[in-house]
Amino acid sequence: MEQCRVNHLRRLILKGGGAGGVLACALAAGLLRPTRAFAADWNKAAFESKSLADALKNIGAAGAAESADILVKAPDVAENGAVIPIEVTCRMEGAESIALLAEKNPFPLMAYADLVGGTEGYLNTRFKMGQTSVVKVVVKAGGKQYIASREIKVTIGGCGG
């Protein structure tokens, strides 16, 4: 119960603080950088896909080839499913994008990174998983799709109540 109360309070604080933040940022953005815009839109279809196959199809990686050149560094057993570190390094040349997917998550696609203007085939982040699952990493390089898999066991889920 203590946990809920704290969370509720945090929610109120965030709610209260959020509005001011938006206003301030909007002002700052408007005054300082009127032309700044987000280049890539959010791929709604892919992020709302409920199966791994659909998610892969919606990011255009349905026929991705297994590759040993994608190095995935992640724990074999994650004690806390709410924070699982993952580090992806691509050994192939010219990686254009990296996508992270967890097969058993309610929405498998977790992140999709477009690497532009000299960004290397490398991505490091932390993600959530409710249960033990296979994590897939899809890399686009030279117009081709490559995929690597890694099973991560979760002892405490990170998505439930």
Partner 1 sequence: MSEPMKIRARIVDGSAHIIVLMIHPMETGQRKDPRSGQAFPAHFIQRVTATINDKPVLNLQCGPAISKNPVFGFRVKGAKSGDKLMIAWEDNKGEKAHSEATIA
Separation CA 87–CA 95 (nearest Å) = 15
Q: Which is nearest to 129 in space by CA: 57, 77, 67?
A: 77
Q: How far is the CB of 55 from partner 1 (least distance, A)?
A: 10
Token representation of residue 1: 């119960």
User: What CA–CA distance (Å, rounded) separates 93 from 52?
Assistant: 26
* Residue 129 in contact with partner 1, rule: CB under 8 A: yes
Residues 145/138, Cβ–Cβ less than 8 Å:
yes
Note whether 45 binds partner 1 by CB under 8 A. no
Out of 71, 72, 134, 159, point to the residue binding partner 1 (CB under 8 A): 159
Q: Is 12 in the site for partner 1 (CB under 8 A)?
A: no
What is the contact surface with partner 1 in residues (CB under 8 A)? 4, 8, 10-11, 14, 17-18, 20-22, 24-26, 28-29, 36, 38-43, 47, 82-84, 87, 102, 105-107, 109-120, 122-130, 158-161
